[in-house]
Chain A
């Protein structure tokens, strides 16, 4: 299984065209991606290959372009909207609001930019809350027995807590607020909560059905110790009345350290990308695909 790709490239078939260097690369964590300084870089280029920083920049640019293309709507913006003349709609008059909306040619990206610009003016920022932080501080060691839970707390430790404000449906007299944006973001000065909470447990009523079938592990002390307390009514109330996150905050990001390094694939056939092209940084699996790639690579970047 290990006699293809890397080894063959290195032994028999490699043609040393000027400016070419195929780098065997099967390790999951290539140190190659540590960008060297620009001076080293130039030295590397003089030796016949591109420096890693150049390669990385070239690959980044290519990747960015590819991802944009994949996210695009296939064609379409030039398809005209046919207007059906006559009929019930002929006499319709639009309100000024509606006329403005119908005329708008803004894309989603335009609207997002508008929203971001507005936010930088008004400083509305919300940050996703990490409940595990609170679990850790409130429950102390009892909730932290399981190793996985300890890990939980640490991975989200870099996140800040959401402001403890609740959305409030404004009384009608407040309607002149000029900006729709405040609907979900605005912090409240006064507390509109009813003065007394309902007794604990009213948000999710107690489980009333017959208990589940018994299980051989029921009496296992290891399992019993893992049972975590159900959140208090106050915690639930806070969750249920929390405002929606913004578009950007709801996008899941990566916790750099917890993710394994990305897998690399052959750009030609999709198999594992075990060999790296020294010219463009692209990956291929073995010889057949290497040759296909080389044609494309020469066409794009020259010899």
Chain B
């Protein structure tokens, strides 16, 4: 460890600009960090896919915003199961976004440091591929690959909790102790973090993420209404707009049940505040779906007319909450994995009990699926049932769940810690890929 550090301090001055990439399966979060004291700009969100619409037109990355009709769209994603697997596609997207002459966030790698997030518990071969591309193909001057969730500790975590404090108290960066729950596209992970360092033996993963939930909603709708399998893009938007986490699952399920033969129960007829109408995009005048309050009158009128109406409306009932429910009860669909609260408990059980109070009182949730309504209330309810009575369970969700990890990574890129982990191109060439992989795996280590 000492050898590596010494050679660094004697080496060339690190590049003045850092490209921070949170390279998600669904979206890339990308932005530059240069000056320590400068306020960081918001990252750009880039769809991490190559898409082909029904007219066989191809869109790469941010070009997708030009696409208006997402019906039957086919998406090719370089990131599979959270890891960059298809570099042919990833390189094409990166080239167009960052390295081509007219790229929207143009960057010269030979004068830039790259801070790149990765999913935890990666396969070593995929990590090596990544490092080889970064240095051998792009030639970044300096590079740091780090797992995403712990970087949230470099944000003002107590600010996210709105902890009352003396404005003169310096902010702890990184936060002393925080438990990060990342509800991403491919997985949901629990990562305990001390002073910015992940506690590796306690990182736990649930193999359900936003993609799985969208596919599940697609299936429910296709069985109950009409075939939506070609419209995953629309279903995903529907999920984001209309799904919520139930705080009383049996009661909500009861309210949305039609009843037995012939009978239509009152809560079903009225919608009980749960039913919502979703107006599907028609690809002509309406390109985005819209959620509306359930209109019982319209429902019966439509049935009476039974003719082609000018809009396709789906009434969502228990679909609104049984989908996010999978995060809390994976066994509902036959997955032999613990729900989120038990996932947290499994993680804690890998740690000394003395760390529990600190972690439980500092839980932050990030990632797209964390934004369902009631998400943190439900998690808190379930955790309180599982921890010793005197434990405080405090959970916060930053306003920017999607970009929180990027924001943390940007702060990390300004922090002196980045110097301890980053590797220069020269070091890669001198010591090789294996040495680089070891260095990133060891991370910050102990002071």
A218-230 Cβ-contact flags toward B at 8 Å (1 or 0) = 0000010010111
A236 CA / B358 CA spacing, docked (Å): 14
B212 interface residue (CB < 8 Å to A): yes
Q: Of the 9-residue stretches B13-21, B126-134, B274-282, B303-311, which lies at the interface with chain A?
A: B126-134
377-420 of chain B: CB within 8 A of chain A? 387-390
The answer to whether B199 touches A132 (Cβ under 8 A) is: no
- Whole-angstrom distance between the Cβ of B163 and the nearest chain A Cβ: 10
B215-242 Cβ-contact flags toward A at 8 Å (1 or 0) = 1101110011000010010000000000
The answer to whether B96 touches A84 (Cβ under 8 A) is: yes
A170 CA / B277 CA spacing, docked (Å): 60
The answer to whether A247 touches B123 (Cβ under 8 A) is: yes
The answer to whether A13 touches B261 (Cβ under 8 A) is: yes
The answer to whether B207 touches A71 (Cβ under 8 A) is: yes
Q: A76-B77, A98-B136, A149-B388 are in contact. Are A231 and B205 (CB under 8 A)?
A: no
Q: A104-B87, A204-B176 are in contact. Are A241 and B260 (CB under 8 A)?
A: no
Most buried by A among B176, B218, B257: B257
The answer to whether A172 touches B430 (Cβ under 8 A) is: yes
Q: Of the 9-residue stretches B288-296, B367-375, B437-445, which lies at the interface with chain A?
A: B437-445
A230-261 Cβ-contact flags toward B at 8 Å (1 or 0) = 11000111011111111101111110000100
Q: Nearest CB to that of A104 among chain B residues?
A: B87
The answer to whether A172 touches B201 (Cβ under 8 A) is: no
Q: Please, which residues of chain A bring their CB within 8 A of the CB of B445?
A: 169, 240-241
A262 CA / B329 CA spacing, docked (Å): 9
The answer to whether A111 touches B136 (Cβ under 8 A) is: no
Q: Please, which residues of chain B bring their CB within 8 A of the CB of A182?
A: 434
Q: Please, which residues of chain B bring their CB within 8 A of the CB of A269?
A: 224, 257-258, 318
Q: Please, which residues of chain A bring their CB within 8 A of the CB of B49?
A: 76
Q: Nearest CB to that of A230 among chain B residues?
A: B354
The answer to whether A97 touches B447 (Cβ under 8 A) is: no
Q: Nearest CB to that of A250 among chain B residues?
A: B121
Q: Please, which residues of chain A bring their CB within 8 A of the CB of B446?
A: 203, 236-237, 240-241
The answer to whether A167 touches B435 (Cβ under 8 A) is: no
A260-280 Cβ-contact flags toward B at 8 Å (1 or 0) = 001101001111100000000
Most buried by A among B200, B434, B442: B200
The answer to whether B76 touches A235 (Cβ under 8 A) is: no
Q: A102-B87, A203-B447 are in contact. Are A89 and B177 (CB under 8 A)?
A: no
B203 interface residue (CB < 8 Å to A): yes
A183 CA / B333 CA spacing, docked (Å): 37
Instruction: Give residues in A with beta carbon < 8 Å to B.
Output: 4-5, 8, 13, 63, 66-67, 69-84, 87-89, 94-95, 97-98, 101-108, 111-112, 114-115, 128-132, 134-135, 143, 146, 148-149, 152, 155-156, 162, 167-172, 174-177, 179-184, 192, 198, 202-204, 209, 217, 223, 226, 228-231, 235-237, 239-247, 249-254, 259, 262-263, 265, 268-272, 285-288
Extra contacts, 16 of them, besides A79-B75, A269-B224, A288-B262 (Cβ < 8 A), are A70-B219, A97-B136, A101-B132, A107-B85, A129-B350, A148-B388, A152-B353, A169-B445, A174-B435, A183-B434, A192-B1, A243-B200, A244-B441, A245-B121, A252-B204, A285-B257
Q: Which 10 A-B pairs have the closest CB atoms?
A: A287-B261, A286-B260, A4-B260, A79-B76, A250-B121, A262-B331, A183-B437, A231-B352, A76-B76, A74-B232
Q: List 20 A-B contacts (CB under 8 A).
A: A8-B261, A13-B261, A66-B334, A70-B216, A76-B74, A103-B88, A108-B81, A108-B83, A131-B351, A131-B353, A169-B435, A172-B3, A180-B433, A182-B434, A183-B124, A228-B354, A229-B354, A230-B354, A252-B205, A270-B220
